Structure formats: structure tokens, C-alpha cells
A and B are shown apart, each in its own frame.
Chain A
Amino acid sequence: MARANAIYKALLYCYPAAFRQEYGTQMVLMFSEELEQVRRLKGRTGEASVWLRAALDALTVAPREHLHVIVQDLRYAFRTMAASPSFTAVAILSLALGIGANTAIFSLWNGVIHASLPGVDKPEQLVMLSDPDQQGMWIGRLSTREDGDRPYFTYAEFQQFRDNGNIFSAVMATESNFDSWQIRVGNGEWEQARGRLVSGGFFQVLGVIPVLGHAFTAADDSGDAPYAVISYNYWQRRFGGRPDVLGKTLGMRKTVLTIIGVAPRGFFGETSGQQPDLWIPLRMQPMVLPGVDRLHDKSPEKVMWLHVFGRLKFGVTLPQAEAQVNSAFEAGLESFYSGVLTAENRADFLDQHIRIRPAARGASSVRNRFSEPLTALLAAVGVLLLIACANLANLLLARGAARRSEIALRLSLGASRGRIMRQMLTESLALAIMGGLAGLGTAYLLHRALVRLMDFQMSFSLDPTVVAFAVAATLGAALLFGVLPAWQVTTMDTGEPLKEHSRSATGSIGRMRWGRFLVSLQLGLSLPLLVGAGLLARTLYNLQRVDLGYPAERLLLVRIDTREAGYNAVRRDALIRDLLEQFRRIPGVRAASFSSLGVFSGGNSALDIQVEGYVPRGDKDRNSAMDVVGPDYFSALGVPIVLGRGILESDRPGAPGICVVNAAFAKQFFDGRDPIGRRITSVEDHSATCVVAGVAGNARTQNLRGDVRPRYYFPALQFPFDIPHPIFLIRTATDAAPILAAVRQTVQRTDASLPIISAKSIEEQMAPLTAQDRAVAQIAVAFGAVALTLAAIGLYGVLSYGIARRKSEIAIRIALGAQTARVVGMILRETTGLIIAGLVLGAGLAYAASRVVTSQLFGVAPQDPLTLALAIGVLVAVALSAAYLPARRASKLDPMVALRSE
């Protein structure tokens, strides 16, 4: 019997502790009597049925009892919350902010850096032959990369991979660039749509089945395929989700496409962070982008612009695939370059290889760029949530103190400490859950703002990972801010608060100690956020004031497409000369010229060269950037000529071939020797040879960060190759914007069929360069401000509370003749201790944090003393002002009133 009782007692642990304490003895008693009776009357079978019912109780009644306790606790929690609405509002608001910011940043971080491609079948089996982090196009003979890894492929190379049946079960290619197209539905107005050219096997390889209609297939690679598949979002947005969208036509440049399918919801293609409206077969490239043929290469020039994806055949490993693909690739290169290969340049042309990588996450031009800032931001919001939790813990500690009499009463009436702890944790949890729910709303809004700020295309979705994160953040927060106050309150001596009431002269040291610790912690945690914000703000400031080497204002950049308008080389030169003359006659224009790359256009051009009198130390030492420029380029842009001359009208075919180098070039290749008259020859193509006629100052035309690269400038009229999309540089005397209209009119008047690809002021052109830095700096400053505000609230609360508890002590001091200034001074001195403790902690954290943002910084050291001093200054100033208010109030105490109220 004793054993049966022991087992039954163990079973009672399924019930809530309070229920067990109240009824446990009775239940054991009843159970043992019943068991004894059935044993006597019915033997073993009766006994079994009693056990069965006891077990059933544990499974059904016990959970109901738990639910009852939870409902009771929740009801109590909501009553407590309703009783102090301002506390509840502050708590929910700060949690919503903390959890919301964390969820939003996590969702971005997850989407950009971690998540597999949405809507793709078995993404883990996808592999990529091109470089997932690159986006762009390279036209020329060689690969751009020093390590020889090929970032993109040509159409012919893609075909070679596709038709090699041994390695891949399927292969497809996509345009690595993300295009913005002018289209029109039926005969409607022209409108903007974003899309991508993809090979026929695109949908098959990704395992995507359209929700409406059908997709194009690999067979469409071999013939004309004037089709388009549109995205689900575009279908909803542009066509209202109507099923009759199939068969509608889309006019585009020189062709008309028919919509044959709608991709499923949530599928955005192979590149994360981008949401195309439509996909068009690669074969349509000459019709969609007329004037150029990117599908066929003219040896020895390659048009490298495609990402290539595939799925490996069953049983083929990555290394095997890589070896096989590379051997076929090298054979292809050998035959392609056969006409230009020599013993010397052989290694240059053939040193190209392919790396095959897992591609579950797809391509992304933003992943690399944003990986660090997003990780840093995630750390920052984590700290923000910690600060919010510390703040709440502090508020709860103070409130716990206010409720001590109530809790002491409940304890003395027999409630167990566990029961009260459970009750208080339920309150914290209820607060956290409400904060978490409000946080989801905040996350949605923040996510939208962040995506706009960072120029991503990514919608906020509550996928399981994000939900799990939000739930974990909520529960973690509840534990963080709930446990300490609950533990504090329940470990007190039951008799003490009832006796003490509020007669204490010094306050309860233990609880105050925790409150002070939490305030120091908050101040300490705020410091790295402030330092980070300061560093990023200074980076942005520096980036906006980089010396470009020419005035970064009053400059228009206008790019036209002469190829589509049907100009050949001879007519184009005449057109450009004509346009330049007309531009210069526009009132307010001071100078005009043109170049192939313009400034900050995103394009780049680089060559391996031989420089007369220069012996390269290694392969990497003979590469230079290059641009092809018109007459008066340097004076129009505003770059000084430091030696020799610039490029003139007279530098035309027949005259001696010249070029101008920049100062970085002169330093790298001539190093003190006179560069004038030296010969520069392209390694790839000996016809592009020139003699240095002048040295120009260093001009930043590609990047704001890093050193200015060596560059040489070739006169456009002497350049042996085509410049189909010249960019005009128009220097104006006043604000450039009003002159833009006149420039457009001039182009229109000269040839109405001449497309203007882009027309911007230099300010507009440069804005995207600092967009990311601006976004990150703004977010960091906002986080820093919120953190500081929370810390100030915490400090204010703890001091007010401490002063309220020490009212009588302060009153006595004042009664004994202490001056106002002395009372204020006394309290500010105590505050200083808290601030110093916080600063010591914060300095360590700030040091660690500065390493996270190092790569984001520009023109400022991660341990910049000025920024640190400034952050500390702001922190101390805010903390002291938060302390001043309660101190001032204390000094104004009327000793009689204060002492009488005790």
C-alpha cells in the first residue's frame, strides 16, 4: 500500500502546486481507501480500473487545473495592467519597439543573407557556375578578375554547359543585370516594368510551375519565342489578378510579346532582393535591346553577362563537376582565342576558370554589400532590446516595491513563493506577448521603411523562421525583465514590509542596488550604439565631402544611344560634334565634352598594358583603368592638367596617337621619371597604342572609397573601337537642373529618334553611391537616440524612486540648514557614480563594437577619440539632465510637509 501511495503522490505532480498543496492529502487518502475497497471486493481487475482512472485524471483533469491557474493569473495580470495604464503603455511601447526592430532587421538579415530562394523546388540542389555576388556585364577579351575566376558567362558558353550532358541534369542562364524596361500593354501608354532575360529552361531548372498558363521551355532557346511570363505580384498589381491576362500583348522596343503564364505567388526568381515583373526568353535579346547582339561573340571579344545555374546529375559531386566543366571550358577558350593566341599572351587568355558553388540562396548583388551592415544592425537592435528589458526590469522592480505590502500579505496568508513568482512571471509574459504582438506591427512598418531606405525589393513575410525569432525574442524579453523583479519580491522577509510600511530612512539597499546596476548597464549598453552612430554619421559626412578632384556641382550627365538610332562610326562623330556645339551655345553652359564612362555611371574599363621603360614586378602590376574621352574633357570636368597638355580637337585620326594619364598612373608607372613622350600599349590589342602627352590631376570618377586607380585617357577620335553610348559632360555656370530641359530639346531637335538613356545632374548621379551609408547612418543614429532615451528614462525613474524613499532623510538635511545646491550636488554626485560605472562597461563594449563597423567606415578610425569623446559627452549630458529634475525636486522639499507625511 505504501508503494501505491508513493506512486499516486508522484502522479499528483502533474497538478499545479497550489492545487496539490490544497487537496493532495485528501486525494491520497481517498485513493488509498478506494484502492483498499476494490482490492477487497474485486481483486486485481478492480485495482487496475482505479489506477486507470488516476492516470486519466492526470491526463485530463490536471491540464484543466493548470489552465485554470493560467487564466486566473492572466486575469489578475490584466487587472494589474489596467490599474497602472501609464506603466503598461510605456512597457508595451518599449517592448513593441525593441521586439519590432529586432524582428524587422532579422527578417531583412534572414531574407538577404540566409534564406533559400523562395518558391524554388529543392533549392539546396541548385548550383551556380558564375559568381553569385556579382551583377553586371563585361565586354572584352579577358575575364576581369585577377584570380581568374569567371564572374559571368557568354551565351555561347552557356550553350556549351547546357549541351554537355554528363554533369548537369539541367542548366539555365539568366541576365545578371536587373533591367528596367519601357513597355506597353496592348496599345496603352508606355510604362515602366522591371524584368530579366532568362533562358528557356529557367522555370524548369528552378522547378517552378506557373499558377496560370504555362512557362517557356528549353525548346524556346532554339527559335523565336516572343513570350513573357509575368510575376504574381505584377499580375495582381497591373492586371488586378484577372485570368484573361493570358494572351495579352506587351509592346517593347521593336517587338511585341505575348503573356503566356503567371508565376506562382512568392516566387521572385533566382536573385534575392529583386522582384522582377516579367521574364523574357534570352533569345529575344536583339529585339528587346536592339542595336547590340549579346548572343554572338565576335572573336576575340566576348560579351560576358549571364549567370548560369544548374542541377547536378545524381551521383556527381561538386569537385567532379568542377573538373569536368573546367576541362571543357578551357578547350572552348583555346579554340575561341585561336586567332590571337601567342606564346606570350597565352597564359593571359587561358588563365580563366569556373568555380561551382551551391546556389540555394541564389544570386545577390546586395548580399555581400549588406552582410556586414545588417549583421551590425542586428547586433545593435539586440542591444536595444536588452536596454528596453533592463528598463522594464527596473520599472517592475520599483512597482514590485510598491506592491510589497500586498505580496507580503498574500505570503503570510499562505500563498507559496512559487505561486507568487509564477503569478509575477505570468504578468511579465502577458506584457511581453502584448509587446510582441504590437512589435509585429512595428516590424512590418519598420521593414517597409528599411527596404525603401536600402533600396531592396523584398516584402515582409512572416515565414516560420521570422515568427520563431519573434516568439523567441518575446519570451527571452519576458524572462530577462521578469525574473529579477519576481525573484526580488519573493525573497523578501514576509514580516519586514508589513512592519516597515514606508518609514524607512534609507530605502532598501538591496533593491536599490539592483536598480542602480540596471541603470549603469543601460548607460553602458547605450555607449556602443552612440559610438557606432557617431562613426557612421562621420563616415557619411566624409563621403559627402570627398575631394573628387573636380567640382561636384553644376554638372550635367547625359547619355544617348547612337547605336539604336542607327549611327555608324563616321556619322556618329559628326553627330557628337554637332551636339557639343549646340550644347555650348545653350545659355548658362560653360563647357561641354563627352566620354565613354562618364562619372559614377557604374561602368568600368581596364586593360593590361605595357608601359615604355616600366618593368612590372608581377602580373597585377600592369593593369590600368582607361576611359575614352572627347576634346576639352579635362577643362569641362574641371580636372587640372599638371604636366603637358589635355586632349584637343586636333587629336584625330592621322595625327600622332596620344593619351593623357592621371597622377596615380604617373606615380605607378613612371615614379619620378618624365612621362611625356612615353609609349603605352595594350597587351591584348597592339592597335590601341598611344604616347603620353600630358598628366592630369587625380579625378574620382568610379568610387568614393579607396585610392584613385591609375587611369589613362584615350582621345575618342583616335580610339579604334566603337563608343555607342557616349556620356556628355555639360558644365554649367549656375544650377544645372533648369538647363537639363534645354539639353533634352537640343537632342530631340537634332534627331527625334535618338534615345536619351539617362540625363541627370551630378548630385542625382552620386546619390545612390552614399544611399547605403546614409541609410545605415540614419538607422544607427535613430537606434542610438532611442537607446539613450530609454537609459535616461531608467535613470530618471531610479533616482525619483530613490528620492521618494529618502524623503525624510533629505527633509531632515534641509531642516538642518542644507542649501539647495548641496542637496542637488549630493544627488548628482551619486548619479556620477552610476554614470562612471556605465562608462567603464560601455567603453569596453564600444571597443568591441567598433570592430564590427570597421569596414563600413570612411575617413574615420574605428577607435576615433573625438567620436568616443563626443558620445561620452552626449551620454553624460543626457544622464545628468535626467538626474537634475528629481534632484531639483528633492531640494524643493518642504521639510515640514515631508516629515508630517511619514
Chain B
Amino acid sequence: MHDSKPDSLLPLPPAVFHILIALADRDRHGYSIMQDVAARTGGKVRLSAGTLYSSIRRMLEQGLVEELSDSPDPASTDERRRYYRLSRFGKRVAGAEVERLNTLLQQARDTGLVPGA
């Protein structure tokens, strides 16, 4: 899966894209991803545990994220927690998705569907 083209995974399901964004600035565990998504969307998007881990399971298989063997936060003492990191491939896929959305937005503006910036 890792050597597949980024475009082949597009368009990304909203939950997957949200997770990629949450992992962009730093490695996080599940609850932290959920909180980050909620904070950025003003509480509008709240990923449930099932949706979150089902998405992570798929993203791991597709090579979008990787699981860390150690906690990146030395202060964290909870050994049960698992942390995830955005992979290089994940970054490329996220970039491709952004580009796809950009093009779409541009087209919407060009045709006058929405006012231009």
C-alpha cells in the first residue's frame, strides 16, 4: 500500500483528513487527536472512539500514519497509551487532498458559484 500513488486515496474521508491535520504539528495519542479536532472545529466535529480507531486502523494499513514504539512525551507515565505520527506518505496524501480541494474551490469561484477572495 505504501508505494501506491497519493491520488489513489483521494478524496479522503473527512475523519481521515481531520486526523492528518491533527497530527501535522505533533505526534498524538487517540484522545489528544479527538480533542484537537474538536478544538479546531469549535466542537462541531467530535470523533467517537469507534470512528477514530477504525480510521487509524485503515490509515496504518495505507501507510498514512505510523505507530510510535515509545511515548514522545517523557512526562507521560501512562504506558497504555499509543502514539501516532504522520508518515511521509501521509504528508504527501494530505498535500494532494489540499490541492484537490483548492482546485475545486478555485473552480467554484471562477464560475461565480461563490464570491472570490
Q: Which chain A residues have a beta carbon within 8 Å of chain B's beta carbons? A: 15, 19, 22-23, 25-27, 29-31, 33-34, 53-54, 56-58, 60-62, 64-65
Contacts and interface: CB of A to CB of B under 8 A. Distances in A.
B80 A57 contact: no
A65 B49 contact: no
Given A34-B34, A56-B48, A29 B81 contact: yes
Contacts of A25: 80
A57 B31 contact: no
A26 B48 contact: no
A58 B50 contact: yes
Contact of A54 (B29, B31, B50, B56): B50
A27 B80 contact: no
Interface string B23-61: 000000111001000000000001011111110110000
Contacts of B48: 53-54, 56-57, 61
B82 interface: yes
Nearest to A11: B50
A801 B52 CA distance: 49
Given A33-B31, A34-B31, A34-B34, A26 B81 contact: yes
B57 A23 contact: yes
Chain B interface category by residue count: 10 to 19
B51 A29 contact: no
30 contacts: A15-B50, A19-B53, A23-B53, A23-B56, A26-B29, A26-B80, A26-B81, A26-B82, A27-B50, A27-B53, A29-B31, A29-B78, A29-B80, A30-B30, A30-B49, A30-B52, A33-B31, A34-B49, A53-B48, A54-B48, A56-B48, A57-B48, A57-B51, A58-B50, A60-B50, A61-B48, A61-B50, A62-B50, A64-B54, A65-B54
A835 to B, nearest CB: 52
Contacts of A56: 48
B11 to A, nearest CB: 18
B4 to A, nearest CB: 16
A26 B53 contact: yes
B31 A30 contact: yes
Given A22-B57, A23-B57, A30 B50 contact: no
Given A26-B30, A61-B48, 9 more contacts: A23-B56, A26-B29, A29-B31, A33-B31, A53-B46, A57-B48, A57-B51, A58-B50, A65-B57
Contacts of B52: 30
A756 B87 CA distance: 93
A56 B50 CA distance: 9
A27 B80 CA distance: 11
Contacts of A60: 50
A60 B55 CA distance: 13
A54 B54 contact: no
Contacts of B82: 26
B8 to A, nearest CB: 17
B31, B46, B53 — which one has the most chain A CB atoms within 10 A of its CB? B53
A61 B34 contact: no
Given A33-B31, A34-B34, A57 B50 contact: yes
A31 B57 CA distance: 17
A23, A25, A33 — which one has the most chain B CB atoms within 10 A of its CB? A23
Nearest to A49: B46
Contacts of A27: 30, 49-50, 53
A19 B82 CA distance: 15
Nearest to B58: A68
